[in-house]
Amino acid sequence: MDTDDGSMALLAEFGSWLTRERGLAAESVRCYGNQAKTFLASAGGAGALSTLDAGAVTAFMVEHASERNSWSAKAMVTSLRAFLRFAHATGRTAEPLAGAVPAVASWRLAALPRGLTQAEISQLLASCDRDTMTGLRDYAVLSLLAGLGLRGAEAAGLRLEDIDWRAGEITVTGKGSRTERLPLPVPAGEALAAWLTSGRPACQSRAVFVTVRQPYRPLTSSAVRVVVPKACVRAGLPHRGAHQLRHALATQMLRAGASLPEVGQVLRHRSMLSTSIYAKVDQNSLRPLTRPWPGASR
């Protein structure tokens, strides 16, 4: 997607505005910027903002949403509204156009969370060739995602000083830059130790997960997230995403007798509403609420 110099400068200013005015984390700023870049390319670049109207904004969003799932469309809605508020606040648009971005129709809790089974997770882990640097790294990434339910951005953001080997804990920075200390499960700890001692190249970066080819750079959250689908290909499994390992952990905890608040605490949800979807898979709690079907034999 080509972007002119004026648009690139505008996107950089938008990123600074998001950090300064909204206090967004770097990963959120990057995502908002990518969505705004898509919109600008469709609108004709930064120079076209002065003639932008509500009809054009709505038309773009309708077309964009028609080709994507509701999650992707919602991400564009949020980013585009923020960008249009920025554009109006900085005098790029004469009218406030954020209200012209239509909402995406969806129903909270309408679907069951789809996680992986323990057998599938074992297959993903077994698919990593731990005789190679990449295999050691991917095995450690998968072990953290499965054992702690980390988000891709949280795993990508881990730094060497975030691991407390003596206490058996790691410090995770999640959404809203919220920092929490989590116990490090033994399998994940062993996988991390193997990567750091036998796989990770010596470099200046303090990131736990880095590229295996020079110049060594920290893995981005996008690079961490693609570890799961790549492992699915190697294991001969249907396509799965990193988030489904969080679902798998939540389901496993519920079936072991954990409560919904405990699941929310482990997954670091900021609201119990985010955890409530797992009530659908909490069969132990739901079983006493079921009633026999009328006329059915008992």
175 is catalytic: yes
Query: In the annotation, is 217 catalytic?
Result: no
Amino acid 134 reads T
- Active-site residue, selected from the candidate residues 37, 64, 81, 269: 269
Is 257 within 8 Å of 195 (Cβ atoms)?
Answer: no
Question: For this structure, is 81 an active site residue?
Answer: no
Q: How far apart are CA 235 and CA 127, in angstroms?
A: 6
Catalytic annotation present for 298? no
**Catalytically annotated residue among 37, 64, 81, 246:** 246
Q: How do 169-173 and 163-164 pair as beta strands?
A: antiparallel
Residue 239 is a catalytic residue: no
What's the CA gap between 227 and 282, in Å, rounded? 29
Q: Which amino acid is at 140?
A: A
**DSSP code of 239?**
P
Which residues does 55 contact at the CB level (< 8 Å), separation at least 6?
100
Strands (E), the chain: 163-164, 169-173, 179-183
The one catalytic residue among 64, 130, 243, 268: 243
Q: What DSSP line would sit under 92-121, residue for residue?
A: SSSS--GGGSPPPP--TT-S------HHHH
CA 36 and chain centroid, separation: 18
Residues 95 and 174: their CA atoms lie apart, in Å, by 35
- Out of 151, 200, 240, 247, the active site residue is 151
Active site residue 88: no
Distance CA 140, CA 172 (A): 15
- Which residues, other chains included, contact 247 with Cβ-Cβ below 8 Å and sequence gap of 6+? 113, 114, 115, 116
The residues carrying an active-site annotation are: 151, 175, 243, 246, 269, 278
